[in-house]
């Protein structure tokens, strides 16, 4: 009832927290972001350490269950992931019915909506059913994203590449997309990106998922809403926007790193002089640098070496340096992730869908946490429109 918004009707103006900046709205056990120490923990474990050693399937288990899996649990998780990878014919039909040039975030959002309608346990919100639905989405999403990339390349409906049970999550997604086995550096960079993108406390998309869950709506609805929130360039859409910046500056594979660096610096100086916001830099929570960047940058460096593309490093360094010098603003995870996915061969518009393939784990962990101790999320607003007046 909007008339109650803003509370008492008394003279005093309530304190307003635009963007909910600095507002703590609930407790969580899933992850801890510490801006002072630049650290991120999933269930207590430092994320760079997880990225160094853990399969993505183990990190998913950790986020959902709260502990790293035992050997047997990991074997079960891997077997489950490998046995639910097929692209459902109804999902393929839905994707094929969409324009081939629609944004792939719209395609993946539509696919999850279809998967929700098809799910036999869609309305079962018991902890067991919620976990099972989360695990299924983890294995279903790579097929959706891989097929969407292929459909775009083919210019219309095409044959999906069947998943391979002998390949892990990262290897298989790359296989289903490109039809060839990726080099170890590529597979590892992909796995690292999945671990780093998996979870980040009450970011906009996760909070959206929690708001939807708080109304007691089903898990797939919450994920569909989260995908909508992730699409924006102030959130997940930034990895795509980073690549558009590289393209605008111009990627010239014949160029040296130094030449690329000075062109990138000039571009950045000009952009900042025009007061532009440059995507891939800055963060609401980290003000001294995103804790995930060094790990992702290391994986990007290995990719640059593997593909012998030093000019990409030149562009990367040039932008980073001039942003640092001019405004002391540091890159966020989307900055190294963008060029990493580009070198793998993905279309730029596919980058944010790849974020979904990973963040599905964090979103669903939060959906289950919200469900287990629910309070309807319903803030107030201060009315500043016209005073009450009669309809003429
Ligand atoms: N480029 C240029 N200037 C910037 C940038 C940027 N990317 N980010 C912040 N600033 C400047 C702002 O202009 C502002 O300067 P001012 O005080 O002179 O006006 C100051 O830094 C503070 O910025 P705010 O936007 O107020 O900070 P906020 O906490 O609201 O913003 C946000 C965080 C939205 C991420 C912002 O840094 C941004 O828009 N970045 C680009 C988008 C992006 O990369 N998003 C990805 C987020 S991480 C992720 O999803 C994995």
Q: Do 177 and 150 touch, CB atoms closer than 8 A?
A: yes
- Structure confidence at residue 10 (pLDDT): 52
Distance of alpha carbon 263 from the chain centroid: 30
Which residues make beta-bridge pairs with 232?
Answer: none
Which positions ≥6 away from 346 have C-beta within 8 Å?
149, 177, 354
Q: Which atom of ligand 1 is nearest to 276's Cα? A: 2
- Structure confidence at residue 163 (pLDDT): 98
Burial grade of 257 (CB within 10 A; 0-12, 13-18, 19 or more): middle
- Structure confidence at residue 5 (pLDDT): 47
Which positions ≥6 away from 128 have C-beta within 8 Å?
none
DSSP class of residue 350 equals G
- Structure confidence at residue 1 (pLDDT): 39
Q: Is the CB of 329 under 6 A from ligand 1?
A: yes
Q: Which atom of ligand 1 is nearest to 235's Cα? A: 50
What would you measure as the largest C-alpha separation in the chain, in angstroms? 73
Give the residue among 296, 277, 117 at the shortest CA–CA distance from 197: 296
- Structure confidence at residue 288 (pLDDT): 86
- Structure confidence at residue 2 (pLDDT): 40
- Binning the chain into helix, strand and coil, the percentages to the nearest 5 are 60, 5, 40
The model's pTM: 0.93
- Ligand 1 atom 30: the closest Cα is on which residue? 284
Which positions are catalytic?
A: 283, 334
Q: Between the CA of residue 247 and those of 30, 157, 306, 338, 342, what are the distances in Å? A: 37, 28, 21, 11, 11
* Sign (positive or negative) of CA dihedral 272, 278, 280, 281: positive
Q: Is the CB of 279 under 6 A from ligand 1?
A: yes
Which positions ≥6 away from 343 have C-beta within 8 Å?
300, 303, 304, 307, 309, 312
ipTM given for this complex = 0.94
Q: Is the CB of 221 under 6 A from ligand 1?
A: no
Q: Which atom of ligand 1 is nearest to 203's Cα? A: 50
pLDDT averaged per 10 residues, the chain (length 392): 46 88 96 90 97 97 98 98 97 98 98 97 96 98 98 98 97 98 97 98 97 98 98 91 96 96 97 95 88 96 97 97 96 96 98 97 98 97 96 97
Mutate which of 31, 198, 227, 282 to test ligand 1's pocket (most atoms within 8 Å of Cβ)?
Answer: 282
Q: Do 338 and 237 touch, CB atoms closer than 8 A?
A: no
Give 279 Cα–ligand 1 centroid separation in angstroms. 8
Give 238 Cα–ligand 1 centroid separation in angstroms. 11
Q: Is the CB of 43 under 6 A from ligand 1?
A: no
| C-alpha–C-alpha distance, residues 312 and 305, integer Å | 10
In the chain the first and final C-alpha atoms are separated, in Å, by: 24
């Amino acid at each position: 009832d909007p008339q109650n918004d803003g509370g008492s009707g008394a003279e005093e103006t309530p304190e307003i927290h635009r963007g909910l900046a600095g507002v703590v709205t609930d407790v969580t056990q899933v992850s801890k972001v510490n801006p002072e120490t630049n650290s991120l923990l999933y269930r207590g474990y430092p994320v760079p350490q997880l990225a160094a050693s853990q399969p993505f399937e183990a990190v998913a288990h950790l986020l959902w269950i709260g502990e790293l899996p035992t050997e047997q649990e990991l074997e079960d998780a891997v077997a489950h992931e490998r046995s639910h990878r097929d692209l459902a014919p109804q999902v393929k039909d839905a994707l094929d019915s969409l324009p081939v040039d629609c944004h792939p975030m719209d395609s993946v959002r539509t696919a999850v909506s279809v998967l929700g309608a098809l799910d036999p346990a869609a309305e079962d919100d018991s902890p067991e059913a919620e976990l099972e639905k989360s695990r299924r989405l983890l294995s279903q999403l790579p097929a959706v994203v891989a097929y969407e990339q292929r459909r775009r390349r083919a210019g219309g409906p095409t044959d999906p590449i069947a998943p391979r049970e002998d390949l892990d999550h990262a290897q298989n997604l790359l296989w289903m997309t490109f039809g060839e086995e990726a080099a170890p550096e590529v597979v590892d960079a992909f796995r690292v990106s999945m671990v780093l993108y998996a979870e980040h406390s009450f970011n906009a998309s996760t909070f959206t998922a929690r708001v939807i869950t708080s109304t007691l709506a089903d898990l797939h609805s919450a994920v569909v809403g989260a995908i909508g929130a992730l699409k924006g360039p102030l959130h997940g859409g930034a990895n795509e926007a980073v690549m558009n910046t590289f393209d605008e500056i111009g990627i010239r594979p014949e160029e040296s790193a130094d030449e690329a660096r000075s062109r990138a610096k000039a571009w950045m100086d000009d952009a900042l002089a025009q007061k532009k916001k440059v995507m891939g830099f800055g963060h609401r929570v980290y003000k001294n640098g995103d804790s995930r960047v060094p790990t992702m940058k290391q994986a990007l460096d290995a990719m640059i070496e593997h593909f012998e593309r030093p000019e990409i490093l030149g562009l990367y360094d040039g932008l980073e340096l001039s942003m640092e010098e001019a405004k002391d603003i540091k890159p966020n995870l989307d900055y190294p992730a963008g060029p990493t996915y580009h070198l793998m061969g993905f279309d730029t518009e596919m980058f944010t869908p790849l974020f979904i393939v990973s963040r599905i784990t964090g979103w669903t962990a939060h959906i289950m946490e919200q469900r287990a101790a629910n309070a309807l999320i319903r803030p107030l607003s201060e009315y500043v429109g016209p005073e009450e007046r009669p309809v003429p």
